[in-house]
Amino acid sequence: MGKGEQTRQAIVAQALDLASSGGLESLSIGELAKAVGMSKSGLFAHFKSKEQLQLDVLEAAVARFIDKVVTPALREPRGEPRVRAMFERWLVWERDEFPGGCVIEGAAEELLDRPGPVRDYVVRAQHDWMDAIATAVRIAMSEGHFRPDLDPEQLAFELLTLFLGYHRHGRLFDREQAEARTRRAFEALVERARSAGSGRARTTP
């Protein structure tokens, strides 16, 4: 990796921290240049525009999400254990990776009514995450852990709403209470999804 790429990655890492606490829209070339000890012109040479800076920050956040949440969860046994791993790792991600709040979820809130390439990227990332959950649910159905008449997309939607509720409640009110309630809601969701008589899920590798 060249020195220029190392510098760019260091800038993006700093921008991720700033976006977590202040939001994606709060990022500016001037603010970030001050935070990393560079001139505005020097930093501008790496990104060219605020929009490109935002896209690079989101791409870095998604790459980290895949590394910390998706990939480890996919190593878990097929079926309910994998769905649980997705849930558990998402909670850890929200709590530990970005204490100021998930950059991806924060950007989704900020960009709801603001069309453009940055919003399009967030939409694609959210679709990919929901597709990953729905796929894990289908596998749980094929393993006999979840009911055969379950709607995978509906369950993925409900799980995503739990994540969004945790994100909002944890930032506005009490994070520990938000986590406890989210876990309770998740267990109720899984219980409704289980096949009759399935009990605890098998762990077929």
* 139 in any annotated domain: yes
Mean pLDDT of 78-107: 88
Say whether pLDDT at 160 is over 80. yes
Per-residue pLDDT at 201: 47
Mean residue pLDDT of the chain comes to 88
* 4 in any annotated domain: no
Query: pTM for this structure?
Result: 0.85
Q: Residue 43 — pLDDT band, cuts 50, 70, 90?
A: confident
Mean pLDDT of 28-50: 85
* 11 in any annotated domain: no
* 32 in any annotated domain: no
Is 62 within 8 Å of 104 (Cβ atoms)? yes
Please provide the DSSP assignment of 40-76 as one string. HHHHHHHHSSHHHHHHHHHHHHHHHHIIIIIHHHHTS
Alpha helices in 3-151 (DSSP H): 3-22, 29-36, 40-47, 50-65, 71-74, 80-92, 103-110, 117-142
Higher per-residue pLDDT: 170 or 153: 153
Per-residue pLDDT at 119: 95
**d(C-alpha 30, C-alpha 91), whole Å:** 33
Is 153 within 8 Å of 134 (Cβ atoms)? yes
Q: Residue 186 corresponds to which amino acid?
A: F
* 44 in any annotated domain: no
Domain range for 152 is 51-193
Q: How many domains in the chain?
A: 1
Say whether pLDDT at 202 is over 50. no
* 202 in any annotated domain: no
Say whether pLDDT at 99 is over 70. no
* 1 in any annotated domain: no
Cβ neighbours of 83 (radius 10 Å): 27
Looking up residue 135, the CATH number of its domain turns out to be 1.10.357.10
**d(C-alpha 45, C-alpha 70), whole Å:** 33
Mean pLDDT of 122-145: 96
* 16 in any annotated domain: no
Lowest mean pLDDT segment, chosen from 82-86, 176-180, 193-197:
193-197
Say whether pLDDT at 50 is over 90. no
Q: Residue 196 — pLDDT band, cuts 50, 70, 90?
A: low
Is 24 within 8 Å of 54 (Cβ atoms)? yes
Q: How far does Cα 192 stand from its chain's mean position?
A: 24
